[in-house]
Amino acid sequence: MKKRILMIGLGLIGGSLALAIKRNPEVTIVGYDIQKEQVNKALSLHVIDVIGHDLLTEAEKADVIIISAPVVQTEEILKQLSRACLKEGVIITDVGSTKKQILDKSKQIKQKNTYFIGGHPMAGSHKSGIEAAKGHLFENAFYILTPFESTPTEKLEELKSVLSGTKANFLQMSAEEHDRIASVISHFPHIIAASLVHNVASYQDSEHDLSRLAAGGFRDITRIASSNPSMWRDILIHNREALLQLFTKWMEEMKKVQGMIDSVNADEIYRYFESAKNYRDGLPVDSKGAIPAFYDLFVDVPDYPGVISEVTGIIATNRISITNIRIIEAREDIYGVLRLSFQTEEDRLRAIVCLQEYKFDTYLSR
């Protein structure tokens, strides 16, 4: 008999997980979402096999339940599941960016022989919705699992087996450890990006339009500030303890830099940027982290009518999807620079080959 998987939430992450799990022919994916349009699309796109019309009815028939929803909604779903008569041995997991509070909430499911294992696939995309779902989204990404200490090893292995189609790298840690790590590499950087935007906005005046001056490099380093405000509100509240500790460390770091500048300590300033550069340059370029990567390609384009359509037309003809496009520089009689962003490294490499066939010069950095 096929293993019955209930996928609750059919956005980008839920849809991508469903597609990855469907690589195993011995599973049936039942999809449930409060937005009925999403469920119907998921079925028509063959992301799921069956539409789930009632949450509790489907939960009671499931062998594995995957909650793919924002953290606050996940808490509400866990509350609903606590009223269901779940199958003996059922595994329940989630995909949330915070873990400790979710694991605490899962304890309200008091039915014996049910197993909650926290999960966080550390990958994403700049697109959203079921239409953007990709079965390869999690390949080579880290997939964090946070079981309880009492979770049987065989249940953890069973969940890994269900998720094996993701081709992700599974890591196991405590919920507390996960939240500390996520706060450093994902949650706090989002706060910094939003703060930088607010800092620029506070200098806005009638004499100078800073938004135009900040449209280049500043826009690049603050991209993550465009993330969903509701989602980040909930994440910060869930992970407040770890983040509050980071604020103290960050303020100490800024005072350190302030002291270097105040004392005009050129050697120390140089070493500060040099060590940061060395560490950053040493980060893996072929693996996925907590913040979605940007696979950018820079293309020199001459100034003549229709050149941008020509470039995008070449890429479209080869069925390569562009997630973002921006003209960085375009002045009369000189080459402009077109920045194209892709969802995967594979798409970027294919685009390079296609464009070079048409004699366009391409670069991976600028």
pTM assigned to the model? 0.77
- Give the number of other Cβ atoms within 10 Å of residue 56's Cβ: 12
Torsion over CA: 58, 63, 68, 70 (sign): positive
For residue 213, what are its two tokens?
Answer: 């001056």
Tens digit of pLDDT for each residue in 7-45?
A: 999 999 999 999 999 999 999 999 999 999 999 999 999
Q: Which domains does the chain have, with CATH numbers?
A: 3-173 (3.40.50.720), 178-281 (1.10.3660.10), 295-363 (3.30.2130.10)
Max distance between CA atoms of the chain, in angstroms, equals 74
pLDDT of residue 224: 82
Contacts of 320 by beta carbon, 8 Å cutoff, 6+ apart: 342, 347, 350, 351, 354
| 3, 20, 50, 259 from 39: Cα distances, Å | 20, 17, 9, 56
pLDDT of residue 255: 96
pLDDT of residue 93: 98
pLDDT < 70 stretches in the chain: 125-127, 204-209, 211-216, 285-294, 328-335, 365-366
